[in-house]
Chain A
């Protein structure tokens, strides 16, 4: 079953409004979550690393005041696109690293969410 969920799956909003996207880790606690943006038939672009209990780490060129990230708990990270513009229309995907130590050794597998399609009119 799904390990990571995102809500909403699809959102259409007017230019100038803010949109919040949730990313939830369903099966385990995640101290770190990642937010990506995908353009059509292009690679996933890492936007930021969301750290539980501290500020997110943004990649170069990503405006932290425009893409607000809050990692309030070990299972939830939110990405808020503020004052959205049509050029922000994209597919936003989160992922979670399962770096916990399990019986037999540590794991380091990345699980991706289903994505959120944002359309800004």
Chain B
């Protein structure tokens, strides 16, 4: 079956760095998405990786290793507003999105 795993909850300190991991097993691969979702709001697109390597976008970076079925989202210089759920989703060979359950990130002062 198809499966996406990511931690349920993580806690980090304001100003620090946090890495949210995502492992996947899917029927084919057409890219991996990271979304940020604040409570009560629609998810916001953060990144899309289809090739191996690290993509940096400001304070956020996303890494992909297709051979390992692994991705991570790296958040630097954490701010209180980064407290949110972070969703990992993989597009399979049929261009269907397989969603992770989301990681709730709690930022403490």
Contact = CB atoms under 8 A, between A and B. Distances in A.
A and B: real partners?
yes
Interface of A: 1, 9-10, 36, 41-46, 93, 109-115, 117
A1 B1 CA distance: 8
Interface string B58-87: 000000000000000000000000000001
Contacts, number: 39
Contacts of B101: 109
B99 A111 contact: yes
Interface in B1-52: 1, 35, 37, 42-45, 48
B94 A36 contact: no
Given A1-B1, A9-B94, A44-B35, A112 B99 contact: yes
A41 B45 CA distance: 7
- Interface of chain A, helix or strand or loop or mixed? strand
B63 to A, nearest CB: 18
Given A1-B1, A109-B102, A110-B37, A45 B97 contact: no
Contacts of B48: 41
